[in-house]
Amino acid sequence: MAKYDVVIIGSGPGGYVAAIRAGQWGLKVAVVEKDPFLGGTCLHIGCIPTKVFLHHADIYDYFKRAEEFGFEVKDVKINWQAILARKDRIVKKHSLGIASLFKKNKVESITGWGKIAGPGRVSVEKDGKTTELETNNIILATGSDARTLPGVEIDGKTVLTNREILLLPDIPKSLVVVGAGAVGVEFASIFRTFGTEVTILEALPRIVPLEDDDISPELEKAFKKKGMRIETEAKVESVKKDATGATVAFKDKAGKPQTISAEKVLIAVGRRPLTENIGLEKTKAKVERGFVHTNAYLETAEPHLYAIGDIVVGLPQLAHAASMEGIIAVGRMAGKDVQPFDRKRCPNCTYCEPQIGSIGLTEKQAREAGYEVKTGKFPFIGNSKATILGMHEGFIKVVAEAKYGEILGVHAIGPLATEIIGEPVAALGLEATLDDMASTIHAHPTVWEAMGDAFNAVRGIAINY
């Protein structure tokens, strides 16, 4: 048997980042990946292809507003096949990039189904043959897959998940999106911009329900302005295919039965952990509804067994969270001084239009935690770069502790929100106060400088509004 310092099962943003860091620290590392390509769900059917679509939608939106910006553009047509081809090229480029980084950092890549064979052993099944690897440590980075609703059959042609919708040969004329979390609103934003009639059905009282209470109505207002229909507190009862697409039956917030028909239906109701048949039953690791329990250093109850990414109980199912968890896990096993994973320091980013970026506690969470809270809000209508971009919707909201000005959370919806959230991520990590951030010089003219006004808004002294 080959002997390794660490074997990682899964090559997504958790697994491949952990592997590279392990290689950088001189560990002998192997990554076992069931697919013939590296990068996992994020690169191939998640973050990256979705953001390609969103970027093309943004470009198309500017074409539609060309006159506003002083251009005469006629007969702009969408070449959907060219967009699909560019998406595939980008994905392939970065998958090959991971392979190159593995080679650079002496990471061995092994294709096959990896599972725990016992303490310090990983078996790899491929083409009916099984090989075994010996290792000092194991990291499980097996990721997640789309959930569905009871009784709803995903056929991949009419009723879709995030996987199949990326492969549609044509832009659908109509689309029902079931679920208004990040996946749902991103695809709703994409296809509405490309001309699809979009309806969103969300079971909870508001869309993007994990965000601050003030974010949801702002996004709903923007979506309705684009012509989307949004039904909250909608309980989906069935999805039935027919000759022209599918019909979704649901009860609205008043309990009244409703139906809506569309060419395609996207089921976007969350993710389930992929932990079946990976050998967890051979370990002491605690598993709950398929999710693995770990401590803040990603260690399970089984010695030398770590779990990272979407399969971990209570941690955000986000690519960048998985990457940091992988770095922490490798650092822990290598004896490095690493900080434990802190969920309150992990940003959330939703790439619909308008974008959403957030970090830390919402106002409601801060009050429930017992803080004396003070908030400030700065609208992008007061930001000159937003005016230049023609993107005035949204605001930045800062949640702070009233007495000392500790920053507890920052929530943005509007232009480049997923980019400018980087400053408050650093601010919370360094335990910065309002005074620290108010004295930070923000370059002008930038969308980012709206952050300076937002921090000052908590004390009622924003300059530009």
Beta-strand pair 264-267/159-160: parallel
Whole-number Å distance between alpha carbons of 277 and 257: 41
Which residues, in sequence order, are bridge partners of residue 7? 30, 138
Q: What are phi and psi of 223, to 5 degrees?
A: -65, -40
Residue in 172, 351, 153 with CA at minimum distance from that of residue 267: 153
Question: Which residue of the set 94, 411, 442, 444 is catalytic?
Answer: 444
The answer to whether the bond into 445 is cis (omega within 30° of 0) is yes
Beta strands in 187-256 (DSSP E): 197-202, 229-232, 235-242, 245-251
Is 444 labeled as catalytic in the residue annotation?
Answer: yes
Q: What are phi and psi of 4, to 5 degrees?
A: -125, 160
Q: Can you count the helices (H) and strands (E) in the chain?
A: 14, 24
Which residues, in sequence order, are bridge partners of residue 348? 358
Residue 113: count other Cβ atoms within 10 Å of its Cβ.
Answer: 15
Q: How far is CA 449 from CA 63, 175, 413, 446, in A?
A: 27, 37, 15, 6
Q: Could you give the residue numbers annotated as active site?
A: 444
